[in-house]
């Protein structure tokens, strides 16, 4: 069998990295030896903590993909969030939990999506339906991704199924969800080593709606004011990014994982789209978004509708 | 729960009609009472035979869909093959076996695709994974669709899984695959009641590749020459369709279900794309395609690559 490349999205988060590793594990258990997990960028602090905790190596980085290369996508489908050359790759499988947008194939494929909080919840179902046992280390990675994507079950993206699967994975991994989860999330809020330019690209996604290019970056924190203590440096980085990438609206969501709110830095020539979408004023380039923690469920849909 | 509309593609075939009915059955068994199967156009002779054989009523016809209506798509995903208004519907689920193209959603959804010969093969897996028993009548509908889509397992789109599932369904339905299958396929070749204009629209799909609009219609027959005995009337109908719909290349595949070959009528200002794709000459607007029976696997991909 020809080599198969497995990877998640650019600006990888814990779900994307662990899902790539877990999908490689599942495929190998099913007899597909020639598969390998990759990453499309630097792992974040949270993922670093997870991989170290379970003693799993970081996947190698992949920059682009050859024409007709066999690939499996996890945790994304939109080509603009994927690798260079994806348009001409041979996409064999997709396992994802996002809306489908900017994706197309020339041939039929395996595509499994469910409206759940985390890709790992779907992968858990694939282990079950294929009768494959989940090792403790793999269960630990999967659990970490569910905790990460659902912010310890507090995000509105979290479903009953995510909670149920997380509990079963915690049993297999022998992990206490609350204490491990909080430590893991806190590890991800350490931004001390990042420049403002890096902070706005750690977890950043672009969509285009009605001709408006909208970029939404997100960072988690235990203290919003801490992240904003040098607000003007962040604004300069955002303005530079806007100019270089032809962005009309940039939102940096700074999400308080303790109180489940977000403060957004909002810049661009289309800030009115954000105002209209959330019905909030922008003061000093800031907009407070009460109870908003999910970019996918609470931010992108309303922005798309108001663009 | 709000009403959910279930339907397949325009120009419905046996897979599209039966998958809608079967999906309604599955959803109801899972406790979703407010779901209903519809069709987007007149059923063909083969499907008529199948529904009559198993004593199942034809679904009602649906012309368009309201904004934000809840829908489940079976056997297709491409919006241009779907209902009017699909762009603004709330797509809850898709179960399909085609390439993904011209499809997008604003929210996450359930999407189950596999590269198999028939949607019913995937639906069979969903009955199994949900622990729902399949009634004989439903099994008969599912089996009919697999026979139809794979031309009694002779099409290159047919996978081992399709054959395995068909055999299990035949057992449940108490049907002899060979004898029933041939009768059913023959019923579908009866074109006596159709005008040339109708023949080219019975099972017709459009794709756009590199700015070239390609329409490929397909009819099954036991005798190619029978279908072509009034070739000029078919050509006139095709030319009219080309003019009205801005088509650059129209192919009418006339597929011999006994010998597993096709003869194509080829018209339009881009017939060179078909010539290049198949490496065959066009004589008297005809092109013979040896061993070609599958539009999806043997026709659309090569046309797309050569457009």
Burial class for A224, CB neighbours closer than 10 Å (0-12, 13-18, 19+)? middle
Mean pLDDT of chain B: 95
Burial class for B89, CB neighbours closer than 10 Å (0-12, 13-18, 19+)? buried
* Same-domain check for residues B104 and B244: no
In angstroms, rounded to a whole number, what is the distance separating the alpha carbons of residues A173 and A168? 9
In angstroms, rounded to a whole number, what is the distance separating the alpha carbons of residues A258 and A292? 12
Mean pLDDT of chain A: 95
B222 lies in some domain: yes
* Chain B positions with Cβ closer than 8 Å to A: 97-116, 129, 296, 301, 304-305
Query: pLDDT band for position A73 (50/70/90)?
Result: very high
Q: What is the mean pLDDT of residues A126-145?
A: 97
What's B69's DSSP letter? -
Here the tokens at position B23 are 């999906």
In angstroms, rounded to a whole number, what is the distance separating the alpha carbons of residues B54 and A194? 66
Query: pLDDT band for position A110 (50/70/90)?
Result: very high
Last residue of a domain, one of A186, A209, A234: A186
Q: Tell me how far the alpha carbon of residue A249 is from its chain's centroid.
A: 20
Last residue of a domain, one of B186, B215, B232: B186
Q: What is the mean pLDDT of residues A8-16?
A: 96
A160 lies in some domain: yes
B34 lies in some domain: yes
Torsion angle of C-alpha atoms B151, B297, B21, B221, degrees rounded to 10: -40
Is residue A59 within 8 Å of A17, Cβ to Cβ?
yes
Q: What is the pLDDT of residue B263?
A: 97
What's A169's DSSP letter? H
Q: Is the pLDDT of residue A1 over 80?
A: no
Q: Percentage of chain B with pLDDT > 70?
A: 100
Between chains, do B107 and A114 touch, taking CB under 8 Å as contact?
no
Output the pTM of the full model: 0.87
Return all residues near B91 (Cβ < 8 A) that are at least 6 apart: B71, B72, B73, B105, B109
Is residue A14 within 8 Å of A47, Cβ to Cβ?
yes
A181 lies in some domain: yes
Query: pLDDT band for position B40 (50/70/90)?
Result: very high
A284: helix, coil or strand?
coil
Burial class for B208, CB neighbours closer than 10 Å (0-12, 13-18, 19+)? middle
In angstroms, rounded to a whole number, what is the distance separating the alpha carbons of residues B14 and B188? 10
Helix ranges restricted to H, chain A: 14-29, 45-54, 119-129, 136-150, 160-173, 177-188, 196-199, 224-227, 231-245, 271-278, 300-306
B191 lies in some domain: no
| A193 or B160, which is more confident | B160
Q: What is the pLDDT of residue A297?
A: 86
Segment holding B205, helix H or strand E: strand B204-209
* Same-domain check for residues B126 and B14: yes
What's B118's DSSP letter? -
Is residue B62 within 8 Å of B7, Cβ to Cβ?
yes
- β-partners of residue A266 are A251
Best probe of the B interface among A72, A75, A106, by most B CBs < 10 A, is A106
Here the tokens at position B172 are 């449940």
Residue of chain B minimizing CA distance to A126: B129
Q: Is the pLDDT of residue A106 over 90?
A: no
Q: What is the CATH number of the domain that holds A269?
A: 3.10.310.20
User: Residue A133's CB: how many other CB atoms inside 10 A?
Assistant: 10
The tens digit of pLDDT for each residue in B192-243 reads: 888 999 999 988 999 999 999 999 999 999 899 999 999 999 999 999 999 9
* Same-domain check for residues A200 and A256: yes
**Predicted-complex ipTM score:** 0.85
* Same-domain check for residues B167 and B203: no
Between chains, do B104 and A107 touch, taking CB under 8 Å as contact?
no
Contacts of A103 in chain B (CB under 8 A): 100, 103-104
Contacts of B98 in chain A (CB under 8 A): 108
Q: What is the pLDDT of residue B2?
A: 87
* Same-domain check for residues B166 and B234: no
* Same-domain check for residues B298 and B176: no
The tens digit of pLDDT for each residue in B94-120 reads: 999 999 999 999 889 999 999 999 999
In angstroms, rounded to a whole number, what is the distance separating the alpha carbons of residues B3 and A122? 26
Taking CB atoms within 8 Å and a gap of at least 24, the contacts of B29-37 are B29/B130, B29/B132, B30/B130, B30/B132, B32/B1, B32/B4, B33/B1, B34/B1, B34/B2, B34/B3, B34/B4, B35/B3, B35/B4, B35/B6, B35/B72, B36/B3, B36/B4, B36/B5, B36/B6, B36/B60, B37/B6, B37/B7
In angstroms, rounded to a whole number, what is the distance separating the alpha carbons of residues B219 and B191? 9
Instruction: Return the HEC string of A88-103.
Output: HCEEEEEEECCCCCCC
Contacts of A99 in chain B (CB under 8 A): 104-109
Last residue of a domain, one of A137, A160, A186: A186
In angstroms, rounded to a whole number, what is the distance separating the alpha carbons of residues B124 and B163? 12
Under 8 Å CB pairs connecting chains A and B tally to: 75
Query: Which of B99, B104, B111 is the closest to A101 by Cβ?
Result: B104
Q: What is the pLDDT of residue A164?
A: 98
The tens digit of pLDDT for each residue in A23-72 reads: 999 999 999 999 999 999 999 999 999 999 999 999 999 999 999 999 99
What's A106's DSSP letter? S
Pairing of strands B249-256, B261-267: antiparallel
Alpha carbon distances (Å) from A266 to A307, B31, B162: 15, 44, 52
A284 lies in some domain: yes
The tens digit of pLDDT for each residue in A247-269 reads: 999 999 999 988 889 999 999 99
The tens digit of pLDDT for each residue in B111-146 reads: 999 999 999 999 999 999 999 999 999 999 999 999
Q: Is the pLDDT of residue B71 over 90?
A: yes
* Same-domain check for residues A167 and A241: no
Is residue B237 within 8 Å of B199, Cβ to Cβ?
yes
Domain count, chain A: 2
* Same-domain check for residues A20 and A89: yes
Calculate Rg over the CA atoms of chain A: 19
Here the tokens at position B199 are 């023949």
Query: Which of A99, A105, A112 is the closest to B107 by Cβ?
Result: A99
Q: What is the CATH number of the domain that holds A156?
A: 3.90.1640.10
- The boundaries of the domain holding residue B75 are 4-186
User: Residue B20's CB: how many other CB atoms inside 10 A?
Assistant: 26
* Same-domain check for residues B131 and B167: yes
Q: What is the mean pLDDT of residues B43-66?
A: 96
* Same-domain check for residues A126 and A71: yes
* Same-domain check for residues B210 and B255: yes
B273 lies in some domain: yes
* Same-domain check for residues B127 and B152: yes
In angstroms, rounded to a whole number, what is the distance separating the alpha carbons of residues B214 and B206? 6
What's B248's DSSP letter? S
Sign of CA dihedral B26, B27, B28, B34: negative
Segment holding B267, helix H or strand E: strand B261-267
The tens digit of pLDDT for each residue in B10-39 reads: 999 999 999 999 999 999 999 999 999 999
Q: Percentage of chain A with pLDDT > 70?
A: 100
């Amino acid at each position: 069998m020809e080599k198969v490349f497995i990877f998640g999205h650019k600006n990888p988060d814990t779900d994307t990295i662990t899902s790539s590793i877990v999908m490689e594990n599942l495929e190998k258990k099913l007899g597909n030896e020639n598969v390998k997990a990759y990453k499309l960028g630097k792992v974040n602090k949270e993922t670093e903590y997870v991989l170290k905790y379970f003693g799993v190596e970081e996947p190698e980085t992949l920059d682009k993909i050859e024409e007709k290369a066999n690939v499996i996508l996890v945790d994304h489908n939109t080509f603009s969030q994927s690798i260079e050359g994806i348009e001409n790759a041979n996409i064999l499988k997709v396992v994802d939990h996002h809306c489908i947008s900017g994706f197309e194939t020339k041939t039929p494929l395996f595509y499994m999506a469910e409206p759940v909080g985390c890709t790992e919840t779907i992968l858990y179902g694939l282990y079950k339906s294929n009768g494959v046992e989940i090792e403790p280390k793999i269960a630990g990675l999967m659990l970490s991704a569910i905790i990460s994507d659902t912010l310890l079950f507090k995000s509105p993206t979290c479903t009953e199924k995510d909670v149920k699967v997380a509990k079963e994975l915690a049993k297999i991994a022998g992990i206490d969800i609350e204490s491990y989860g909080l430590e893991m999330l806190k590890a991800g809020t350490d931004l001390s080593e990042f420049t403002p330019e890096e902070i706005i690209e750690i977890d950043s996604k672009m969509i285009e709606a009605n001709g408006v290019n909208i970029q939404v970056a997100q960072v988690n924190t235990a203290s919003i004011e801490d992240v904003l203590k040098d607000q003007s440096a962040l604004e300069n980085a955002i303005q530079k990014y806007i100019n270089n990438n032809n962005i009309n609206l940039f939102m940096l969501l700074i999400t308080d994982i303790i109180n489940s709110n977000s403060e957004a830095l909002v810049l661009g020539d289309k800030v009115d789209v954000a105002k209209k979408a959330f019905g909030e004023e922008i003061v000093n380039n800031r907009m407070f978004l009460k109870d908003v923690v999910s970019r996918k469920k609470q931010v992108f849909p309303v922005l798309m509708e108001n663009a």
